[in-house]
Structure 1
Amino acid sequence: MALVCLALTNPAAQGHFSLCPLKLLGIAWCPGCGLGHAISFLLHGDLKSSFQAHWLGLPVLLVLLYRIITLGAAGRYRLR
Structure 2
Amino acid sequence: MKLIRSNIELLFWVAALIALGFSDPTQTHFVLCPLRLMGFTWCPGCGIGHAIAYLFHGNIAASWHAHWLGIPALAVLLYRIVTLSVTRYKEYT
Fold match (TM-score > 0.5) = yes
Pick from 14, 25, 33 the counterpart of residue 28 of structure 2.
Answer: 14
Is residue 89 of structure 2 the alignment partner of residue 76 of structure 1? yes
Alpha-carbon deviations, 1:9-55, whole Å to 9, x = none? 1001132x111111001111100000000000001110000000000
Residue number in structure 2 paired with 1:3: 17
Is residue 54 of structure 2 the alignment partner of residue 41 of structure 1? yes
Identity %: 51
In the superposition, the TM-score normalised over structure 2's length comes to: 0.82
Q: How many residues align?
A: 79
Which stretches in structure 1 are left out of the alignment for 5+ residues? none
Structure 1 runs (4+) deviating above 3 angstroms are: none
C-alpha root-mean-square deviation of aligned residues, in Å? 0.7
Greater relative CO, 1 or 2 (CA 8 Å, sep 6+):
2
In the superposition, the TM-score normalised over structure 1's length comes to: 0.95
